[in-house]
Structure 1
Amino acid sequence: MVLTGCATYHPRPLSAPANATQFSHRSLDNADLRAFMQAQLGHAMSPWPPKAWTLDQLTVAALHYHPKLALARAQWASARAKAITAGAYPNPTLNLNPVQYATNAAAGLSPWTVGLAVDMPILTAGKRSHRVAEALDQAEAARLNVVQTAWQIRANVRQPWIKLYAARRRVQLLDTQVQDAAALLAALEQRFKAGQTSQYQVVQARLQRSNAQLSRADARAAENQARASLAGALGVPLDALRGLHYDFNALRKLPAFQKIPRARFKTYALTRRPDIRAALMRYTASEQAVRLEIARQYPNLNIGPGYTWDQGAHKWSIGLSLDLPVFNQNQGPIAEARAQRQQRAARFRVLQARITTDFNRALAAYQASAHKLQLAQHLLKSSQSRLGSARASYRAGETNRLDLLRIQLETQTDRLALLKARVQAEKALGALADTVEYPLARGTPTARAIQNVAPPQNSSHARSSKASAS
């Protein structure tokens, strides 16, 4: 019966070439990914693959593929295994006494003496319960680290997604700007040949066209870089993004600064963020470690019942042994555990202080970027009004084509400025969401999917995050 409970070894070789091949075959249109996304988002993925990928859909795809999440889950599994180890009872020891043969045994008595004894360790002072409690707290901290990793993956997906939008939109705007700059240059060159303008104006127009062309080349390079970064954030090869279309409609409207519940989000960040809760669980584990080391100053008991068959006589015995706390009473480990508890309390306070600073900085950055966005919108509205008037005047023959082209270039410059302001505001909103680790303006599908990557485990020892770091 003892042998039937033994585990057997099953080899799981790891091959670098096989792993590289498996990675190269990852795609965003396979059935496994579809099933995962349907389970996480709570609705059918039809059509499949999506005609245009949203940020939420890309985030869930990253949760399916990204290796960092697999690593965090493996660390969580290791912590749960340690909890199993902590809950194990010590096995008893069977001792066989030396077999004796008496050469001078009395007549009618067996000359043999055979005996055995069992040594049964008994843990005292609640050592096992403290050990189990510490391990379960560490396992809960590891689970929360999985959730924290998922939020980091979302942030890493969002950043190249925004950059990709900015680069694509910038290319579109610069295409128009290059066309207008080329038209202006051609018109000025004709006027220069006719002696109606100076060479300086021609040179300035040529520089303007060249700068627009170089900016467009930079934007195209930025688009390629953003696409490569997005593939890395998703955990898929770059080829998996070939021909992919994206839905950037979520970027069209940002929440007003006044409508952001700042106090509620700050409280959430300081009390409910996964890393905050994980730090509290580590502190709770250090409390259990102190209790365990204090309990270890009390010796365990070893009870040893035995039986001896002594030349036909049945002899029963029982022994008791324990360590005597004479030279030390576990003072060193107790001091170490208390120092570790103090260190984890200090780390928790440092984390809360950093989150407070990051939140205030991100909030100020979003407020400034939102104001700048409003200003850019106002400037573009004014330039569009001037452009409309210039077009009407041009059609009426009241102005020339050069003036119209200059106003078109001015308007296009304001469109580029508005794009830059919008991207800055979106990045600032993302930084604010990162400090809270909850979507501020995107709904809840991603939040639900992130929580599902590591659901809480049912345990009689499960603790809330109400530990005091005092």
Structure 2
Amino acid sequence: MRLLVYLSPLLLTACGVAYQAKPITQQQNIENIQQASPTMDGFQAFVRAQSPMVSWPIATWDLDSLTLSALYFHPALKVAKSDYAVALAGIKSAGLRPQVGLNGQLSRSNLANGDINPWSYGLQVDIPLITANKRQINIEIAQYQADIAKIQISETAWLLRQQLSFDLILLAEQQAMQANLVRLQKAQDSLLAAYQKRLDLGVAGKSDVLPIRLQRDQSAWQLQQLDLQIHQTEQKILHDAGLTAQTNLPFNIAPLALSQILKARFAESNAYADAPTIQNTALTNRMDIQRALAQYAKAESQLRLEMAKRYPDLSLSPGILYEYGDKIWSLGIGTMLNLLNKSSDLWAHAEQVRQNEAVRFYNLQHQVIQQSEQTYMKYRDAANLLVTQTNEYAQQSRRKAQLENQWHQGLIDKTEYLQTEIQFYSAQQRLITQQANVIRALQEIENIMQKPIALSQRAMSTANQPQEVPAK
């Protein structure tokens, strides 16, 4: 009993901190999500640290400021950072040395053999010895897992930025089309009024007025639909930035000028001049390539670990025994013998895992090369069609100016000019659509290379440090 009294403080110390339950506070989470706002002090400090060039408070939101909001508020990035924290903790746990064992023994004799002392006390220490560098290999495996998780943070941040880029392109296209439809509908109203006067005078028939009225009604319906789509796109931008519409409307988003963006990007066309350039950049710069390489390195370390397990670990067991008056010391050694399985069975699965990672990496390279060719072809065809649409638009613009001049001089009727103006707005619609298609194609090239080339190139630090939305 005295031995247990002496060992009790040691056992209690070994227990460490007691477990404490921490249930999820669902209502608190809901409040944090709903109340997340760019006006928070934590977000301001984050913006200052990541991009000092951004003015505060943010009056209009562009791609860079929206990306900063997503990096701070979006839960997808928080999950990636949490996975990275788990992986870092795994490195520490992988480096822990095995625990030393302690065994005690207490016996009592009936003195039948004439023993000097009826009591026997024993103490033995078990010291495990890890062989074949297994502990260091475990640390390497954990480090590779942390590298994979860290790359996943950057990849998640990139995907958030890309989604916002496509949202802004769509919004710019919708807004440009909205302005076009307003002007088109005004021209159609003027043309309809002119034909209505002709109808009242008996110069024109109902068959002349009806198509114009149908076109005007169709444009009005398209404009109504476009207003709804713009509102939905603005809300999607808000959500992709990690915010909710409950406390963050109205949200002033900086408009994009499609033609100016194209002009600036075409001046730097060497970044996407041909498919080999895109392929070389993608194969050396993409984060999924880096992640796949880290996964393969991890598989190799796992194979090394399995091969190292051929060498069994040892256990030294020194001890001392006070046995019925005699003092006895001892030294034992223990190990595990693998007599039931072949040595090759220990690493056969790990070898197959490594081969699987190699095949996956080959498949990833194949996909990147194919996607590089496809995206470049898509961009090239879209750019060629844009040239055609631009020439058509320029021709319609010249014709519109010419007929407008003739109309003011009284050489032609107003209806003839209005019909030409409507044709001009139709050509402008096709041009807007094609400009947006080219920018989207550029954005896909950017995504393949994972290198900013389309909407913004503002320098911004990587946000790998965990940032939490403050609680209410």
Regarding TM over 0.5, the answer is yes
CA distance in 2, matches of 1:350, 1:275: 12
CA distance in 1, matches of 2:248, 2:422: 34
Q: CA deviation at 1:5?
A: 8.3
Query: Is this contact kept in 1: 2:261–2:454, CA < 8 A?
Result: no
- State the match for 1:46 in structure 2: 55
Query: Is this contact kept in 2: 1:28–1:240, CA < 8 A?
Result: no
CA distance in 2, matches of 1:122, 1:306: 17
CA distance in 1, matches of 2:152, 2:92: 20
CA distance in 2, matches of 1:29, 1:137: 38
Secondary structure of 1:246's counterpart equals coil
Q: CA deviation at 1:445?
A: 3.3
CA distance in 2, matches of 1:270, 1:91: 45
- State the match for 1:305 in structure 2: 318
TM-score (norm 1): 0.90
Q: CA deviation at 1:10?
A: 4.2
CA distance in 1, matches of 2:245, 2:36: 10
Show the 5 A alignment for 1:364-379: 364-379=377-392
CA distance in 2, matches of 1:444, 1:12: 43
Secondary structure of 1:151's counterpart equals helix
Q: CA deviation at 1:155?
A: 1.4
Q: CA deviation at 1:240?
A: 4.6
Amino acid at match of 1:59: T
- State the match for 1:67 in structure 2: 75
- What is the aligned counterpart of 2:241 among 222, 234, 258? 234
Percent identical across equivalent pairs? 25
- Unaligned ranges ≥5, structure 1: 456-470
- State the match for 2:359 in structure 1: 346
Amino acid at match of 1:21: E
Mean CA deviation greater in 9-18 or 218-227: 9-18
Query: Is this contact kept in 2: 1:297–1:329, CA < 8 A?
Result: no
Cα deviation, 1:263-300, whole Å, max 9, x if unaligned, reads 44422311221111111111101001111001111111
Show the 5 A alignment for 1:381-392: 381-392=394-405
Amino acid at match of 2:338: P
Secondary structure of 1:13's counterpart equals coil
CA distance in 2, matches of 1:444, 1:189: 54
Cα deviation, 1:350-369, whole Å, max 9, x if unaligned, reads 11111111121111111122
- State the match for 1:148 in structure 2: 155
- State the match for 1:117 in structure 2: 124
CA distance in 2, matches of 1:170, 1:282: 46
CA distance in 2, matches of 1:253, 1:40: 25
- What is the aligned counterpart of 2:95 among 84, 87, 93? 87
- What is the aligned counterpart of 1:21 among 31, 43, 48? 31
Amino acid at match of 2:89: A
Q: CA deviation at 1:98?
A: 3.3
Q: CA deviation at 1:35?
A: 1.5
Query: Is this contact kept in 2: 1:144–1:454, CA < 8 A?
Result: no
CA distance in 2, matches of 1:238, 1:330: 61
TM-score (norm 2): 0.90
- State the match for 1:138 in structure 2: 145
Q: CA deviation at 1:429?
A: 1.1
**CA 1:369–1:241: 2 relative to 1, 3 Å:** farther
Q: CA deviation at 1:167?
A: 1.5
1:314 aligns with 2:314: no
Show the 5 A alignment for 1:264-413: 264-413=277-426
Mean CA deviation greater in 59-68 or 242-251: 242-251
**CA 1:34–1:316: 2 relative to 1, 3 Å:** same
Query: Is this contact kept in 2: 1:86–1:128, CA < 8 A?
Result: yes
Amino acid at match of 1:6: G
Q: CA deviation at 1:195?
A: 2.2
Amino acid at match of 1:378: N
- State the match for 1:166 in structure 2: 173
- What is the aligned counterpart of 1:33 among 25, 43, 50? 43
Mean CA deviation greater in 284-293 or 393-402: 393-402
Query: Is this contact kept in 2: 1:250–1:442, CA < 8 A?
Result: no
Amino acid at match of 2:336: D
Q: CA deviation at 1:372?
A: 2.0
- Unaligned ranges ≥5, structure 2: 1-9, 467-472
CA distance in 1, matches of 2:189, 2:38: 41
Amino acid at match of 1:259: N
- State the match for 1:245 in structure 2: 252
Secondary structure of 1:384's counterpart equals helix
CA distance in 2, matches of 1:382, 1:82: 66
Cα deviation, 1:315-374, whole Å, max 9, x if unaligned, reads 211001111222224433411100111111111111111111112111111112222222
CA distance in 1, matches of 2:320, 2:198: 120
